[in-house]
């Protein structure tokens, strides 16, 4: 089952971005995801499979999303 990730979700990853931030905002979903780093504002394209492996926590409207 794919993890139900939606635009606007805040993803916390196991591995931090080079800038030190661990939270990313989902900008676009599909085969690949585009997300923006909460630290340096850089936007990253990432494959779903890769992203799913890195997810530690998903927050939507301030609440944790179970996955
Ligand atoms: Zn960053």
Q: How remote is the CA of residue 17 from the centroid of ligand 1, in Å?
A: 5
The pTM of the full predicted model, rounded to 2 decimals, is 0.92
Per-residue pLDDT at 36? 98
Alpha-carbon distance 50 to 12, whole Å? Answer: 14
Q: For residue 15, how far is its CA from the centre of ligand 1 (angstroms)?
A: 11
Give residue 1's pLDDT: 80
Q: Which residues contact 36 (CB under 8 A, 6 or more apart)?
A: 24, 25, 27, 42, 43, 44
For position 39, what pLDDT does the model report?
Answer: 98
Convert 27-48 to b/e letters by CB count within 10 Å (16 or more is b): eebeeebbbebbeeeeeeebee
Q: Which residue has the higher pLDDT, 8 or 1?
A: 8
Give pLDDT tens digits for 4-39.
Answer: 999 999 999 999 999 999 999 999 998 899 999 999
Span from the CA of 37 to the centroid of ligand 1 (angstroms): 5
Do the Cβ atoms of 65 and 13 come closer than 8 Å?
A: no
Q: In angstroms, what is the span from residue 42 Cα to ligand 1's centroid?
A: 6
């Amino acid at each position: 089952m794919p993890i139900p990730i939606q635009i606007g979700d805040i993803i916390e990853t196991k591995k931090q971005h080079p800038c030190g931030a661990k939270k990313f905002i989902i900008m676009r979903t599909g085969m690949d995801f585009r997300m923006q780093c909460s630290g340096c504002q850089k936007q990253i394209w990432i494959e779903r499979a890769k992203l799913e492996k890195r997810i530690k926590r998903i927050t939507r409207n301030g609440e944790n999303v179970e996955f």
